Structure 1
Amino acid sequence: MTLLKAPREGYSAALIRLGERHKELVVLDADCAKSNMTNLFKDKFPERFFNIGISECDLVGTAAGFAIAGKIPFANAYANFLTGRAYDQMRISVCYANNNAKIVGHNAGTSAAQEGATHLPLEDISLMRSLPRMTVLVPADSVEMEKAVEAAFHFEGPVYLRVGKLPVPIVTKSEEPFQIGKAKRYLEGSDVSLISTGMMLSEVLKAAEQLRDRGVSTEVIHVHTIKPIDVEAIVQSAAKTSKVVTVEEHSIVGGLGSAVAEVLAEHQPTQLRRVGTKDRFGVSGKMDELLDFFGLRAANIVETVEELLDRVKL
């Protein structure tokens, strides 16, 4: 039975471990510490926790100030408000100034489903990857989240980390290496490359199993770093299979699909299909309902692959 755990749990655990070893780590929150689970850091290190209030612009600006002062700030807020309202502060105070601030977008993707349609951040990766100097991390599960937090802390420069709220399947292992900018190959195949990011890795692995039963040899590449993206891994896989399907819990406009398309267009022109949300806003509901509604299930991935391979049974 697959273990389910919320990525935010891994985030909080890693933050506390780092806080025990590094006094320069400070945590800022936009008045949603309980939801973001940064309240656990606050309980342990109250002198290094700062509730900035529901003011995302102030949150990012203050984080930049802490970075200038030699601290390593993790600034936490809901991803939709953080990347939308505080974009200017991230652009100028963090990225243009090249300050060592870590920006953490919570309630990411469909994990914000029950908070309402306007709370679903389906464009945050697109916004963050467009910023010069910004590194963008999208871990698959709670286990990989812990490693991503550690890597983000030790990385010198601006980082955007995407964190989900609700439990998702744990499909990565603690002993697997995590290196910013390096994708992971989970399966080798020759017919099609499935390239995923974030929590969609679990659905991609299910789809690969179903495709194997249909006689399709599938390569699975997990991209936890959207920027800088692993050009070499994508090009090598595409050269081998000549067909690529990207899968993301995000808009296909500007997200992983766009990033992979850019790589392929410049280095390895390849047939490409993108599975993700289709240039639209979110809707209210439960996360499972939204994954079905947006077509982000293994069955949808299999159907996309079959169409790409011209194997659809009419």
Structure 2
Amino acid sequence: MSKIANKQMICEVLMDAAKTDRDIVALCSDSRGSGSFTPFADTYPEQFVETGIAEQNLVSIAAGLAKCGKKAYAVSPACFLSTRSYEQAKVDVAYSNTNVKLIGISGGVSYGALGMSHHSAQDIAAMAAIPNMRVYIPSDHLQTRELVKALLKDEKPAYVRVGRNAVEPVYEEEHVPFEMDKATVVCEGTDIAIIACGEMVKPAKDAAELLNAQGISASVIDMYCVKPLDAEAVVKAAENAKAVLTVEEHAPYGGLGSMVSQIVGSRCPKKVVNLSLPDAPVITGTSKEVFDYYGLNAEGIAEKAAELVK
């Protein structure tokens, strides 16, 4: 199956919808190229706004357009969108309940060698802490397609984080299970429950296969909807397993692991271990090199899961 970057799929879905919906507006902060939105800008110039490197203005203008009835999609690197324009996201988008979808591109450690200034390893915690802000991290381009189609149907604020490069798909073109705000069960098991989001879902799925070869039965939950978190899916997975392992491309505090731990601790106490990036500037390298170094790959996930079960 061909690889397509999630950000490219977002552009394709919006371009298709914009054929008949002139209220769809895309905004970029000098990021149309890196965000794969050049085709949208070229095809629908009257529905495209370029703010330049001004993320705060980007979000406020998007909110203003939304108040005028537009469906605004603000595209900017996740590292800047979730920090430089945090107040605007909190007040102009979430508090004002505007129909703005904040699209954080090149999330996590996608920028690799550019280092901590360009990494977004705190955005789940930051954006999820804002009341009325939803947070989504799709695992592949197929799920991204279904998510954006669903987001086009509502008028609520949301933050969507996607990576920079194309990744191996988790699902198949002819079978993409998707329900808005409901986690997807990638595979079922009884020994260990692995709950992952974003680019960590594919290695989690591969880890389940490695564990199966060792006689360990693992379930894998794709928690693309980080907020609102599918609590029922978490409880069901935890109740059917000996322990829970969360996997995320994020700092260890305030992200998926913290949220899952709160639910499991209060409703079905089981041991929960979070596999994440460290509470420190990560090493310099490509996404794969960073993942391999910190054990955020199939082998590392399988090893940690096996430790928990034994």
TM > 0.5 fold call: yes
Q: Which amino acid aligns with 2:274?
A: R
Q: Which amino acid aligns with 1:244?
A: V
Q: Which amino acid aligns with 1:9?
A: Q
Q: Matched residues in 2 for 1:283 and 1:43: separation?
A: 38
Q: Matched residues in 2 for 1:143 and 1:69: separation?
A: 31
Q: Which amino acid aligns with 1:270?
A: K
- What does residue 27 of structure 1 align with? 26
- What does residue 262 of structure 1 align with? 262
Q: State the identity as a percent.
A: 34
Q: Secondary structure at the match of 2:245?
A: strand
Q: Which amino acid aligns with 1:5?
A: I
Q: Matched residues in 2 for 1:152 and 1:294: separation?
A: 33
- What does residue 206 of structure 1 align with? 206
Q: Contact 1:251/1:278 (CA < 8 Å) preserved in 2?
A: yes
Q: Matched residues in 2 for 1:78 and 1:283: separation?
A: 20
- What does residue 43 of structure 1 align with? 42
Q: CA deviation at 1:155?
A: 2.2
Residues 141 and 132 (structure 1), Cα distance of their counterparts in 2 relative to 1, 3 Å cut: same
- List aligned pairs for 1:12-23, cutoff 5 A: 12-23=11-22
Q: Contact 1:122/1:282 (CA < 8 Å) preserved in 2?
A: no
- List aligned pairs for 1:232-311, cutoff 5 A: 232-310=232-310
User: 5+ residue gaps in structure 1?
Assistant: none
Provide TM-score, normalisation by structure 2.
0.96
Residues 8 and 113 (structure 1), Cα distance of their counterparts in 2 relative to 1, 3 Å cut: same
Q: Secondary structure at the match of 1:89?
A: helix
Q: CA deviation at 1:104?
A: 0.6
Q: Which amino acid aligns with 2:56?
A: C
Superposition RMSD on alpha carbons, in Å?
1.3
- List aligned pairs for 1:1-314, cutoff 5 A: 3-174=2-173, 175-310=175-310
Instruction: Give the aligned length.
Output: 309
Q: CA deviation at 1:299?
A: 1.2
Q: Matched residues in 1 for 2:214 and 2:303: separation?
A: 12
Q: CA deviation at 1:293?
A: 2.0
Q: Contact 1:110/1:291 (CA < 8 Å) preserved in 2?
A: no
Q: Matched residues in 2 for 1:159 and 1:271: separation?
A: 31
Q: Which amino acid aligns with 1:77?
A: S
Alpha-carbon displacement from aligned partner over 1:13-32 (angstroms, at most 9, x marks no partner): 11211211321100000011
Q: Matched residues in 2 for 1:154 and 1:281: separation?
A: 38
Q: Contact 1:118/1:282 (CA < 8 Å) preserved in 2?
A: no
Residues 145 and 96 (structure 1), Cα distance of their counterparts in 2 relative to 1, 3 Å cut: same
Q: Matched residues in 2 for 1:288 and 1:139: separation?
A: 18
Q: CA deviation at 1:262?
A: 1.3
Q: CA deviation at 1:182?
A: 0.1
Q: Secondary structure at the match of 1:53?
A: coil
Q: Which amino acid aligns with 1:211?
A: L
Alpha-carbon displacement from aligned partner over 1:120-162 (angstroms, at most 9, x marks no partner): 1111111111110111110001111111111122122100011
Q: Secondary structure at the match of 1:127?
A: helix
Q: Matched residues in 1 for 2:255 and 2:104: separation?
A: 15
Give the stretch that moved more between structures: 210-219 or 7-16: 7-16
Q: Which amino acid aligns with 1:78?
A: P
Q: Matched residues in 1 for 2:237 and 2:63: separation?
A: 39
Q: CA deviation at 1:3?
A: 4.1
Q: Matched residues in 2 for 1:142 and 1:114: separation?
A: 24
Provide TM-score, normalisation by structure 1.
0.95
Q: Matched residues in 1 for 2:4 and 2:93: separation?
A: 31
Q: Matched residues in 2 for 1:160 and 1:170: separation?
A: 22
Q: CA deviation at 1:180?
A: 2.3
Q: Which amino acid aligns with 1:193?
A: A
Q: Contact 1:206/1:298 (CA < 8 Å) preserved in 2?
A: yes
Q: CA deviation at 1:197?
A: 0.5
Q: Matched residues in 1 for 2:210 and 2:123: separation?
A: 31
Q: Extract structure 1 runs of 4+ deviating beyond 6 A.
A: none
Alpha-carbon displacement from aligned partner over 1:261-309 (angstroms, at most 9, x marks no partner): 1111221111111111122233432221111122211111111112212
Q: Contact 2:8/2:37 (CA < 8 Å) preserved in 1?
A: no
Q: Matched residues in 2 for 1:115 and 1:152: separation?
A: 31
